[in-house]
Amino acid sequence: MPVGAEPVIDGVRETDAGAVDPKWAWGLSGSLRDDPQRRVMANAVRKHGIQAVALDRDAVRAQQHTFSLELDAGAVTNQRASGRCWLFAGLNTLRIRAKERLGLKDFEFSQAFLMFWDKFERANHFLENILETLGEPTDGRLVSFLLAGPLGDGGQWDMFVSLVEKYGLVPKYAMPESYHSGSSAGMNRVLVAKLREDAARLRLAYRGAPDALPAARREKEGMLAEVHRMLVHFLGQPPAHFDLEYRDRDNAFRRVADLTPTAFYEAYVGVDLGDYVSLIHAPTADKPLHRTYTVRFLGNVRGGRPVRYLNAEIGTLKRAALGQLEAGEPVWFGCDVGKMSDRESGVMAAGLFDYAGALGVPLQLDKAARLDYGESRMTHAMVLTGAHLVDGRPARWKVQNSWGKDPGQDGYYVMSDDWFDEYLYQVVVHRRHLSPQLQAALAEPPTVLDPWDPMGALAGG
């Protein structure tokens, strides 16, 4: 065979197998020209966009912003142009307790305070992961995955718990928002560049060296000191002490001097976060029900609380969430917020957009297949603050978002019960809302999932 010649099988070159026949491709346009209804739909999509055309207005109208069970969760907060939803959601679950103990109509914690310590701790976590994988090739999947996202904004409930238990909390005025807390992309780019440089230094200096960890960790301390300096520039200095000063709902002035963040948390929140557990609904073959799971390398605080999930039926998640709401506590949850969700109306409902009808093609993956094939994952954390019950069963759920007051109704969303089935993946509830069987399952050692498993996706943003 001449150099460069291609094998021919039954008159077809091997490189042509599976190629698109241009005559067939041009002929596809005829089916659209011959269908007047399809031409009208195509014109509407080109003019107004698929979202506007496919939106089911009846489905929007069916999801009223009224609920038979509601908590007084306060005004909606705003994470702005950052991926701190998990921090905002975590703080929003605690603010009800804080405003009651402080005697305030409303209250807001400092999100920038926890963001500072999350970035600092996550830098350490990343560098420790680099040291743990010194024997892996730089271009292998594992190290490439670690280097792809050294320090994003996303996170998980257990990561929130680790920060609160280690550093405490402060009111928003004690460490207010900065430019980069609300617009984190520029800050993250610089921090990531620094951490990749540090990873290269560690791998070049210590890869293959016996007993390298003590020396590598001494060098890592200097790297973390540089990260701390950068964070002070970006976010400000977190207060080690502050004076609590405010007027309560009766307009009485209150002052408590020289509080530490941990003392403030213990006095004015006082929740044992160790009693709260993450239930997930991941109906994929690799995650049998009633077992616990963790994700390798997922976390922020070394020595803190490991990320841990208990997989259960969707009905179990609903019963536990409803029980917690009825007990007067909001519920942190993780979901795929971009699916079947309308920002303007604040409605999330399965089938909210009829893409199949608008485009004339089927879209039929179920929840398990969407996870397996990368079509869905946890992308956002919010808080359940109410539910509407019909004959004792939830028909819709009230959702406190953290995108400010413009979306939805003063920033609150309404979630249909079927959206809960399809696109909600995680709820955080007190363990008392679990059956004895599930409480026993919590004691079992977790199955370790790959770092790129979709159950770790919320922490990657």
- Active-site residues, by number, are 85, 380, 401
Cα–Cα distance, 87 to 113 (Å, whole number): 10
DSSP string computed for 117-129: HHHHHHHHHHHHH
How far is residue 93 from each of residues 71, 195, 255, 319, measured CA to CA in Å? 11, 32, 25, 18
> Residue 44: which H helix or E strand, with range?
helix 36-48
Q: Which two tokens stand for residue 77?
A: 């907060």
- C-alpha atoms less than 13 angstroms from C-alpha of 137 in its C-beta half-sphere: 3
Cα–Cα distance, 259 to 247 (Å, whole number): 17
C-beta neighbour count of 355 within 10 angstroms: 16
Cα–Cα distance, 96 to 270 (Å, whole number): 12
> Residue 190: which H helix or E strand, with range?
helix 185-206
| Under 8 Å between Cβ of 328 and 385 | no
Q: Which amino acid is present at 333? A: F
Cα–Cα distance, 86 to 398 (Å, whole number): 18
> Residue 162: which H helix or E strand, with range?
helix 157-167
Does the CA dihedral 52-53-54-56 come out positive or negative?
positive
Give the 3-state secondary structure percentages of the chain, helix then strand then coil, rounded to 5: 45, 20, 35
Smallest CA-to-CA distance from 86 within 337, 323, 275 is with 337
| Under 8 Å between Cβ of 334 and 380 | yes
Q: Which amino acid is present at 182? A: G
How far is residue 71 from each of residues 127, 331, 400, measured CA to CA in Å? 42, 11, 10
